[in-house]
Amino acid sequence: MPESVDQIRIAILGASGYTGAELVRMLARHPAADVRVLTAERQAGKPLAEVFPHLAYLNLPNLVKIEQVDWSEIDFVFCGLPHGTTQEIIRALPHTVKIVDLSADFRLSDPASYAQWYGHEHAAVELQREAVYGLTEFNRQGVRSARLVANPGCYPTATLIPLLPLVLDGLIQTDDIIVDAKSGVSGAGRDAKQANLFCEVSEGMHAYGVGHHRHMPEMEQELSIAAGVPVTMAFTPHLIPMNRGEFITTYVKLAGKNGPDDLRAALAARFENEPFVQVLPAGVVPHTKHVRGSNQVHISVFKDRLPGRAIVLSVLDNLVKGASGQAIQNFNVMNGLIETMGLEQAPMFP
């Protein structure tokens, strides 16, 4: 590693889940990252090798409880705790520490919306207001000066990246957006649940959370801001028997005389200089396998057989651009580093 980059001292809270492992995988090659602390409440005391044998050779510190952390030694926190547990913990952190929170706790800026979707009042409303929504490609300025970034959900990231420019440019109608989403199983986390056993999940698929998935208000919030009017949408997620990957099929109504080629051209222009977003040529279908393990998003636009409609396809790796990769991207922006640092790994195929 080049010596010249200043090391940023990092704590990963909730390091025993898949996003935790993914942060470690990528930060291990990040020249400015110095991973000092890994927490995991139930596994505290164990070496990381016991929960993630594949990371044993990296010689990282043992897992500890959050209360054991000496915050004077930490500059930056990646917070990967379960939704709902994060608010009080982050409020207690010293203000010298910057945070990317990977949970859903700070993604909804409206406390009423949070209470409605999560069933209880928000425990740190002032932080909810302070938090910056970290969809990096659309909010670099905000992220750069933020102390607390709410890392977007995987579905919102995959959905909003192609949709936001179309809404902002008025190319599609905002009252009839239908998002059919498909995700690999790692999005469901590492908790021992019967529904996620190999024998329950493999060789089959199903929808879930039909009509009421919690990523919906997050998407509607960002689309509404872009549209300048409240946006309601349809969103149906499906569980696919694969570890990683998210495939979003969005059915949109065209505004004015625009056709699919106009949409594709607008997206290509919008993302021309973005290192992590590729707009595919006409006729090329994205595959989740083509972005697996990388921070890439692939987008393509197709003509629909229904007149006045188009189909927008987008893919990403839910653990990378959909979680830990985007978190590191935000970390880079918050610390004035090159945005791609530590995120140069190519997709792994097959």
Near a copy of itself in 157-196, by CB under 8 A: 176, 178, 180, 182, 185-186, 190-194, 196
Quick one: how far is CA 247 from the chain centroid? 14
Residue 299 near residue 247, CB atoms below 8 Å = no
Nearest CA among 188, 13, 35, 187 for reference residue 86: 13
Decide if residue 91 touches a copy of itself (CB under 8 A).
no
Residue 243 in contact with a copy of itself, rule: CB under 8 A:
yes
- DSSP symbol at 148: E
Min separation Cβ 153 and a copy of itself, Å:
16
Closest to a copy of itself by CB, 20 or 334: 20
User: In angstroms, rounded to a whole number, what is the distance separating the alpha carbons of residues 36 and 300?
Assistant: 41
**H-type alpha helices, 17-144:** 18-27, 48-51, 86-91, 111-118, 125-130, 140-144
Q: Which residue numbers are catalytic? A: 154
Residue 55 or 154 having the CB closest to a copy of itself: 55
Binder of a copy of itself out of 5, 28, 97, 338 (CB under 8 A): 28
Q: Which of 140, 144, 200, 338 binds a copy of itself (CB under 8 A)?
A: 200
Sign of the C-alpha dihedral, residues 314, 330, 73, 59? positive
Q: Quick one: which segment of 62-70, 83-91, 117-125, 237-245 binds a copy of itself (CB under 8 A)?
A: 237-245
- How many whole angstroms separate alpha carbon 237 and alpha carbon 181? 5
Q: Pick the piece of the chain touching a copy of itself (CB under 8 A) from 80-88, 111-119, 132-140, 307-315.
A: 307-315
Q: Which stretches within 42-124 are classed as H helix? A: 48-51, 86-91, 111-118
Q: How far is the CB of 22 from a copy of itself (least distance, A)?
A: 8
Binding to a copy of itself, residues 244-303 (CB under 8 A): 244-245, 247, 249, 251, 278, 284-294, 296, 298, 302-303
Site map (CB under 8 A) of a copy of itself, residues 7-26, x = contact: -----------x--x--xx-
